[in-house]
C-alpha cells in the first residue's frame, strides 16, 4: 500500500469480457486507467454481473465492497429494522404525519439515506469522493429495477461534489433537514463497518473540514441539522447542539431551527 502522503493508485477492471465496455466507460468518467493485472495498483474498481465493486489489492485485502440495497444487511434492516422507531428516524424528526425532506450531505454508501427513504422521506444525497459516489450510483441503478425497492430508491437523488460548496451555492427550496455523518474513526464493532472503514480511509481520510460542513448546513437547513457521531466523540467545533440521542455505538447531535409539523 502507499503511504498516507501518496494518493493510492486505482485501476478499473472488467471481471468478464462482457463488462469491458462498461469498465471503459467508468475509467473514462473517473479519469482512471484500465488494468488487466494488478501491477503496482493499490485498488481495483471492478465491474461484473453483480455491479461495481471496490477491492483493495494485496494479501491483507478485506475483500470487495459494493452497494446492494436488495440483499444482505440493508435488506434485513429494511424488513426488520424497527421502522419509525429507529433512532435515526427520531433524530431527523420522522413522526406521525411528518416525513421531512432530507439532504444527506455525507452520503457514503447510502445506508442511512436508504433507511430514511424506506420510511417515506424524500432524500437528496451528496458524496464528494468520486469512487464512493460511483459505487452508490451503481447500487441505486440496480435497485431501481426491483419492483419493491425501486419505489424506495426513487426517493433518493444523488449528486457528486463538495457538499460545503454545493450547500453554499444552493438554488431552490432549502432542505428541511440536513444530515451529516463526517468521516471519523467510528467505533462500530460490526465486521462490515470495520471492513469499509479500512478500505475507504486511504481514499477519504478524516473530515478535517467538519466545522465548515456544519456551518454551511446550519445556514441552509430550514428546520434542523442532525450530526451522527461515534458515541464518545466530541461535538463538532462551532455551534453546540441543543440535545443528543445516544445509542450503543453512535450518537445524534440535534440542532433544531424550526419545529417540524405535518
Residue 168 among known ligand-binding residues: no
DSSP string, 108-169: TTSHHHHHHHHTT--EEEEE-SHHHHHHHHHHHHHHHTSTTTHHHHTTEEEEES-HHHHHHT
Calpha distance 120→135 (Å, rounded): 23
Residue 112 among known ligand-binding residues: yes
Residue 111 among known ligand-binding residues: yes
> How many helices, marked H, and strands, marked E, lie in the chain?
9, 11
Residue 128 among known ligand-binding residues: yes
Calpha distance 213→62 (Å, rounded): 30
The answer to whether 67 and 132 are in contact (CB under 8 A) is no
Report the 10 Å Cβ neighbour count for 130: 14
- Sheet holding 51-56: strands in order across? 33-34, 10-14, 43-48, 51-56
Calpha distance 26→33 (Å, rounded): 10
The answer to whether 15 and 48 are in contact (CB under 8 A) is yes
* Binding residue positions: 111-112, 127-128, 181
* Binding residue positions for S-adenosyl-L-methionine: 111-112, 127-128, 181
Amino acid at each position: 500500500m502507499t503511504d498516507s502522503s501518496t494518493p493510492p493508485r486505482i485501476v478499473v477492471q472488467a471481471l468478464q469480457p462482457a463488462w469491458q465496455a462498461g469498465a471503459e466507460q467508468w475509467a473514462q468518467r473517473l479519469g482512471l486507467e484500465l488494468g488487466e493485472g494488478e501491477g503496482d495498483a493499490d485498488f481495483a474498481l471492478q465491474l461484473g454481473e453483480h455491479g461495481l465493486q471496490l477491492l483493495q489489492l494485496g494479501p491483507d485485502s478485506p475483500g470487495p465492497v459494493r452497494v446492494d440495497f436488495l440483499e444482505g444487511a440493508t435488506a434485513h434492516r429494511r424488513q426488520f429494522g424497527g421502522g419509525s422507531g429507529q433512532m435515526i428516524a427520531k433524530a431527523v424528526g420522522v413522526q406521525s404525519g411528518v416525513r421531512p425532506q432530507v439532504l444527506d450531505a455525507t452520503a457514503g454508501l447510502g445506508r442511512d439515506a436508504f433507511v430514511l427513504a424506506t420510511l417515506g422521506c424524500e432524500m437528496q444525497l451528496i458524496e464528494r469522493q468520486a469512487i464512493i459516489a460511483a459505487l452508490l450510483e451503481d447500487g441505486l441503478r440496480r435497485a431501481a429495477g426491483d419492483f419493491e425497492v425501486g419505489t424506495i430508491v426513487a426517493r433518493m437523488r444523488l449528486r457528486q461534489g463538495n457538499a460545503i460548496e454545493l450547500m453554499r451555492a444552493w438554488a431552490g427550496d432549502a432542505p428541511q433537514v440536513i444530515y451529516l455523518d463526517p468521516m471519523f474513526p467510528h467505533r462500530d464493532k460490526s465486521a462490515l463497518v470495520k471492513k469499509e472503514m479500512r478500505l475507504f480511509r486511504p481514499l477519504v481520510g478524516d473530515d478535517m473540514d467538519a466545522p465548515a460542513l456544519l456551518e454551511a448546513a446550519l445556514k441552509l437547513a430550514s428546520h434542523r441539522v442532525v450530526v451522527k457521531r461515534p458515541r464518545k466523540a466530541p461535538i463538532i467545533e462551532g455551534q453546540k447542539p441543543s440535545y443528543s440521542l445516544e445509542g450503543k455505538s453512535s450518537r445524534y447531535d440535534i440542532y433544531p431551527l424550526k419545529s417540524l409539523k405535518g
